[in-house]
Every structure is written in C-alpha cells, then in structure tokens.
C-alpha cells in the first residue's frame, strides 16, 4: 500500500454513517449531561428542559482559559523528565521516545493551583463556567482534528494508522489518519491522552468540592469520596504513565476526532458528572455505607492495578521474578501470552477492575437518580466494544495461539458470566 492508497482494514463504528452519527451524538450527549446535572429532575433519559442559547455557550474568556490551561500543560510536559521511555517498535522498525513526567505535572499543577487559590484565584467559580468551557473545548477539538487530518495528507505511509485510512474523509477524520502525529519531539496524542483532560478532570472535581463547601459550609462525605476515588485513578494513570505506551490508543488508533474530543472534552466534562450531580443534588451518605463503597473501590483498584502491572512487567521483562513462574502460551511472533495469574482468570481482568471502580464512583450519589450511573453504563459499552476490537487484533496477531488462549480462558471480562 502506498501512502495515498486506501487501507483494506475493516470499517469500525458502523462505517461512515456510524461515525457521522457519533460526530453529533458525542458532543450532544456531553452537553445533555452537563445540563441534566444542574437541572432539578436530573433525568438521564429525558430531553433537556431548555436548549442553551449561543450567549450561554460562547464566551471568549472560556476559550482564553482553555488555552491558558493547555499552555500550562504543554510547559509542564516540556520540563526535564525523570525518565525518557521508548515506545513499541513501529512499522519502519523505529521507536519513538516519550518523556515520563506526568505525575510531576500533576503535582506542579496542584502547587500552582494552591498558590493561586491562596492569592485569591476563584477556583470555586469554575462550575459556573463548565458550559462555555465545554463549548470552547469542543470547538477546538473540531479545528484541531481538521489540522491533524491535513497534516496526515503529507505524512509518509509508514506513519499512518492501520484503521483511519479508508479513503472516506469523514471516517478518517473521526478515526485519525496518522498514528503518532508529532511536531519535533512533541507527541500530540500522548500529550492529550494523559495531560490536559485527565488533570483538568481532577481540578473540575476540586472546584465542585470547593463550591459545595461555599454553598453548604463543608463538602459532603459523598463529594469527598468521589474526589478521592477519581484523584487516585488519575494519580495512578500518571504514576504508571509508561504503561499507556502499550494501550490500543497509542499502538493502534490514529489521532483523530474520536481521541481528540475524547481526551480534551469528554473526559473532563463527563467523567466529572458525579461531582457535578452532587453539587446540585446533595445526597446523604452514612459512614457504614461509605466504608462499604471504599472496600468496593479498593477491590476494583487491586484487580485493575494487579492485572495492568502484571502484563506490563511481563511484556517488559518476562524473566522478572514476579512473573517468571506464570504459565504462558508461545505464539508465532515470539511473544508469549499469559494463561495464569490475573490473565488466566478472564481475558480482560483490567477491564473488570476498572468497571468495579466505576460502580464505586457512582454509588456515593445514592440510588435515587440514574444520571450519576451514566459513567457505568457508557463504560460498560465502551469496554465491551473495545474488548471486541482488541480480540480481533489479537486474533490477527497471534492466530492459533490466541484461539488456544480463548479455549483455556473462556470468559472475557466477568468470570462465569461474560
Ligand atoms: N477510563 C477509561 O475511560 C478507559 C480506561 N481504559 C483502561 O485502559 C487500560 C488499557 O486498556 P486497553 O489498551 O484496551 O487494553 P489492554 O491493556 O488490556 O491491552 C490489550 C493488549 O494486551 C496484550 N494481551 C492480551 N492478553 C494478554 C495475555 N494473556 N498475556 C499477555 N498479553 C496480553 C495484547 O497486546 P500485545 O500482545 O501486543 O502486548 C492486547 O492487545 C485498561 O485498564 C482499561 O480498563 C480503557 C479505555 C477507557
Ligand atoms: C466516547 C468517546 C469520545 C470515546 C473516546 C474514548 C476515550 C475517552 C478513552 C479511550 C481510551 C482512554 C483511556 C483513558 C481515558 C479515556 C480514553 C482516552 C485512560 C487515560 C484513563 C486512565 C487509565 O489509567 C488509563 C491510562 C489506563 C486510560 C488509557 C485509556
């Protein structure tokens, strides 16, 4: 295939029609959730009581704030890193290098915010700006994805992603044509996946907590739990930043609207839904229930971290003492597949842990509304779909060895259920 020929990869997400629908549905869902969280009935499955006018959505100050935030995160990304990691081997046999300083960026952002708040930065005013901020971010995501699409037109064939080069412009715009678009050594996809949106999510949550304290005298136990759980998730992602280099997003998916919008807009504005809901709909939560929810979160995290670390250690160094004793299946590629330990329990133990944690994030919001459970529902759908995409890719990569693995480990995500 030359760089200008369309790839033969099967179309995903329902092809051009499916992605056309998603281009509208994803931003529409995000705005629906933002509006529903602040509305009295807070209904997930009802049309919004009103549609906001352009004057409520568009604010040059929100755009400016978003760019200041992006600028800060770019500056922190460019600071000297404690380590520079190499990614997996690319089609042209080269490996890209990535700075590992995400956790440092989180800590420095927290210090700067703390300093800002101590000199009067009104962080508690952020919840009132979520709508125009989400609008500015969505607009930027569309423009940025167009620029990435244009950049990919002059990229060499070896730089293109397997999936986003169908020849249909809308489909390729959505999936992303180039695998690792870079400006010099600045990697757009790696930066966006872990920095502005993920760190932004934590500070939106914190702003909601501060606003609740202002309104009600102190933050509620439910708000503390949601903030603590999600901070742990983001802190973990940045502490183990290197392991993102082996995720499907980095090694397989191009950088197009799906990931640009997902990273910059969807993550901060929809993943903070529980905290948004709690600000407008305070929920009573007793200590025994809070402890049970913490236990659920701890179980989820134990599985998620255990499974991800086991696979990452095994991929980096199969003779590491912590994984050397595990049973494996050899494959024709020379790589082996784990069939005992976490990866012998189900084929995607990390998804199981992630889903349990998702439930623990929503339970502090009580059972009176479906809205705060949106994340659990969306995430189940995303992981089931992702699991099917990954299995397809593994079958292609490993052939009979993967079939053997599926026979030995028959359940995908939940033991004896699915
Ligand atoms: N919060 C969120 O919104 C989201 C979170 N996530 C989380 O991100 C994390 C990464 O997910 P994702 O990138 O989808 O996939 P995984 O980290 O599960 O990686 C899948 C890859 O692991 C390797 N693998 C699979 N089975 C085995 C085995 N038995 N032994 C050794 N290697 C194996 C294969 O790659 P190879 O053999 O080439 O190494 C496979 O392609 C997960 O924890 C997931 O829950 C994901 C999406 C969204
Ligand atoms: C609906 C929509 C716009 C879909 C795009 C999906 C993205 C939101 C997600 C795809 C994979 C992701 C990952 C994380 C966040 C969500 C997205 C970008 C992640 C960074 C969250 C933290 C985890 O620890 C992680 C590093 C494993 C994870 C990687 C995948």
Q: Which residue's CA is minimally distant from atom 9 of ligand 2? A: 262
Q: What are phi and psi of 84, to 5 degrees?
A: -120, 120
Q: What's the chain look like in SS3? A: CCCCCCCCCCCCCCHHHHHHHHHHHHHHHHHHHHHHHHCCCCCCCCCCCCCCCHHHHCCHHHHHHHHHHHHHHHHHHHCCCCCEEECCCCCCCCCCEEECCHHHHHHHHHHHHHHHHHCCCCHHHHHHHHHHHHHHHHHHHHHHHHHHHHHHHCCCHHHECCCCCCCCHHHHHHHCCECCCEECCEEHHHHHHHCHHHHHHHHHHHHHHHHHHHHHCCCCHHHHHHHHHHHHHHHHHHHCHHHHHHCHHHHCCCCCHHHHHHHHHHHHHHCCHHHHHHHHCCCCCCHHHHHHHHHHHHHHHHHHHHHHHHHHHHHHCCCCHHHHCCCEEECCCCCEEECCHHHHCCCCHHHHHHHHHHHHHHHHHCCCCCHHHHHHHHHHHHHHHHHHHHHHHHHHHHCHHHHHHHHHCCCCCCCCCC
Q: What pLDDT is recorded for position 2? A: 42
Q: Residue 282: CB partners within 8 Å, gap ≥ 6?
A: 212, 216, 220, 222
Say whether pLDDT at 219 is over 60. Answer: yes
Say how far apart CA 349 and CA 380 lie, in whole Å.
14
Crossing angle between the packed helical segments 221-239 and 349-362, to the nearest 10 degrees: 150
Closest ligand 1 atom number to CA of residue 351: 45
What's the distance, CA 137 to chain centroid? 16
Q: Residue 197: CB partners within 8 Å, gap ≥ 6?
A: 262, 263, 264, 265, 266, 267, 268
Q: Which ligand has the shortest distance to the CA of 353?
A: 1
Q: What pLDDT is recorded for position 402? A: 96
Say whether pLDDT at 4 is over 60. Answer: no
The answer to whether the Cα torsion of 12, 14, 17, 18 is positive or negative is negative
Q: Which residue's CA is minimally distant from atom 22 of ligand 2? A: 237
Contact 249 CB / ligand 2 (< 6 Å) = yes
Q: Output the CA 248–ligand 1 centroid distance in Å.
A: 7
Tell me: the pLDDT tens digits for 368-398? Answer: 999 999 999 999 999 999 999 999 989 999 9
Tell me the pLDDT band of 3, cut-offs 50, 70 and 90.
very low
CA triplet 142, 143, 149: central angle to 5 degrees? 90
Q: Output the CA 135–ligand 2 centroid distance in Å.
A: 20
Q: Which residue's CA is minimally distant from atom 21 of ligand 2? A: 237
Q: What pLDDT is recorded for position 6? A: 59
Say how far apart CA 267 and CA 26 lie, in whole Å.
12
Contact 19 CB / ligand 2 (< 6 Å) = no
Are 273 and 374 a contacting pair, CB within 8 Å?
yes
CA-wise closest residue to 68 among 129, 7, 27: 129
Residues framing ligand 1 (Cβ under 6 A): 246-248, 304, 308, 311, 315, 335, 337-338, 343, 348, 350-351, 354, 382, 386, 390, 393-394
Contact 375 CB / ligand 2 (< 6 Å) = no
**Residue 354 or 3, more confident:** 354
Q: Residue 247: CB partners within 8 Å, gap ≥ 6?
A: none
CA-wise closest residue to 358 among 254, 229, 246: 229
Mean pLDDT over 33-56 rounds to 92
CA-wise closest residue to 272 among 377, 199, 189: 199
Q: What pLDDT is recorded for position 1? A: 40
Contact 201 CB / ligand 2 (< 6 Å) = no
Say how far apart CA 302 and CA 349 lie, in whole Å.
11
Q: What pLDDT is recorded for position 206? A: 96
Are 347 and 391 a contacting pair, CB within 8 Å?
yes
Q: What are phi and psi of 305, to 5 degrees?
A: -70, -40
For 305, left (φ over 0), alpha (ψ -120 to 50), or beta? alpha
Contact 247 CB / ligand 2 (< 6 Å) = yes
Crossing angle between the packed helical segments 273-280 and 15-38, to the nearest 10 degrees: 30
Say whether pLDDT at 198 is over 80. Answer: yes
Are 344 and 311 a contacting pair, CB within 8 Å?
no
Say how far apart CA 207 and CA 228 lie, in whole Å.
13
Mean pLDDT over 243-254 rounds to 91
Tell me: the pLDDT tens digits for 335-345? Answer: 999 999 999 99
Mean pLDDT over 360-364 rounds to 98
Q: Which residue's CA is minimally distant from atom 7 of ligand 2? A: 262
Q: Residue 150: CB partners within 8 Å, gap ≥ 6?
A: none
Q: Output the CA 91–ligand 2 centroid distance in Å.
A: 24
Q: Give percent above pLDDT 70 in the chain.
A: 98
């Amino acid at each position: 295939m030359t760089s200008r020929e369309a790839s033969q990869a099967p179309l995903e997400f329902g092809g051009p029609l499916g992605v056309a629908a998603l281009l509208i549905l994803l931003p529409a869902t995000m705005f629906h959730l933002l509006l529903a969280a602040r509305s009295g009935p807070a209904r997930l499955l009802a049309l919004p009581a009103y549609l906001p006018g352009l004057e409520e959505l568009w604010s040059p100050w929100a755009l400016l704030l978003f760019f200041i935030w992006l600028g800060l995160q770019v500056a922190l990304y460019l600071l000297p890193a404690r380590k520079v990691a190499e990614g997996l081997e690319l089609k042209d046999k080269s490996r890209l290098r990535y700075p590992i300083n995400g956790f440092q960026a989180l800590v420095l952002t927290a210090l700067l915010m703390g300093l800002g708040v101590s000199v009067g930065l009104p962080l508690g005013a952020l919840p009132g700006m979520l709508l125009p901020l989400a609008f500015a971010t969505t607009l930027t995501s569309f423009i940025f994805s167009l620029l990435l699409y244009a950049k990919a037109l002059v990229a060499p064939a070896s730089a293109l992603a397997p999936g986003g080069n169908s020849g249909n412009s809308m489909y390729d715009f959505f999936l992303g044509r180039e695998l690792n678009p870079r400006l010099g050594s600045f990697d757009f996809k790696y930066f966006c996946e872990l920095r502005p949106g993920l760190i932004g999510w934590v500070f939106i949550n914190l702003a909601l907590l501060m606003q609740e304290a202002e309104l009600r005298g102190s933050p509620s136990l439910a708000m503390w739990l949601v903030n603590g759980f999600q901070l742990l998730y983001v802190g973990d992602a940045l502490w183990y930043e290197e392991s993102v280099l082996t995720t499907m997003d980095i090694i397989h998916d191009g950088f197009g609207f799906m990931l640009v919008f997902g990273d910059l807009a969807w993550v901060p504005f929809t993943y903070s839904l529980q905290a948004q809901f709690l600000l407008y709909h305070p929920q009573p939560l007793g200590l025994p229930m809070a402890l049970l929810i913490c236990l659920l979160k701890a179980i989820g995290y134990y599985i998620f971290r255990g499974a991800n670390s086991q696979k990452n250690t095994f991929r980096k160094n199969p003779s590491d003492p912590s994984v050397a004793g595990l049973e494996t299946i050899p494959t024709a590629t020379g790589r082996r597949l784990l069939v005992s330990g976490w990866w012998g329990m189900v084929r995607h133990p990390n998804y199981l842990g992630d889903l349990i944690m998702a439930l623990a994030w929503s339970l502090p919001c009580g059972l009176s509304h479906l809205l705060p459970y949106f994340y659990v529902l969306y995430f189940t759908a995303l992981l089931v779909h992702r699991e099917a995409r990954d299995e397809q890719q593994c079958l292609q990569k490993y052939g009979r060895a993967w079939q053997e693995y599926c026979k030995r480990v028959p359940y995908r995500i939940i033991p004896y259920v699915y």
